[in-house]
Amino acid sequence: MEENDEMGIPLLGDKFPEMEVQTTHGKMKLPDDFSGKWFVLFSHPADFTPVCTTEFVAFQERYEKFKELNCELIGLSIDQVFSHIKWKEWIKDNIKVNGNPVEIKFPIIADDTGNIACQLGLIHPNKGTNTVRAVFVVDPEGVIRTILYYPQELGRNMDEILRIVKALQISDKNGVAMPANWPNNEIIGDHVIIPPASDEKTAEERMKSAEKGEIKCFDWWLCHKKL
110-149 pLDDT tens trace: 999 999 999 999 989 888 888 889 999 999 999 999 999 9
Average pLDDT for residues 190-211, to the nearest whole number?
91
Its pTM stands at 0.92
Which of these is catalytic: 52, 71, 118, 217? 52
Q: Which of 155, 143, 65, 147 has its CA nearest to residue 106? A: 65
Angle at 72 between CA 68 and CA 76, to 5 degrees: 150
Mean pLDDT across 33-58: 97
Q: Please report which helix (H) or strand (E) contains residue 73, including its range.
A: strand 71-77
Read off the pLDDT band of 7 (50, 70, 90): very low
Rounded Cα–Cα distance for residues 134 and 149 (Å) = 4
Known active-site residue 223: no
Helix, coil or strand: residue 179: coil
Q: How much of the chain, in percent, has pLDDT values that exceed 70? A: 96
Q: Which domains does the chain have, with CATH numbers?
A: 19-157 (3.40.30.10), 175-227 (3.30.1020.10)
- According to the model, what pLDDT value does residue 8 have? 64
Look at residue 49 and tell me whether its pLDDT is greater than 50: yes
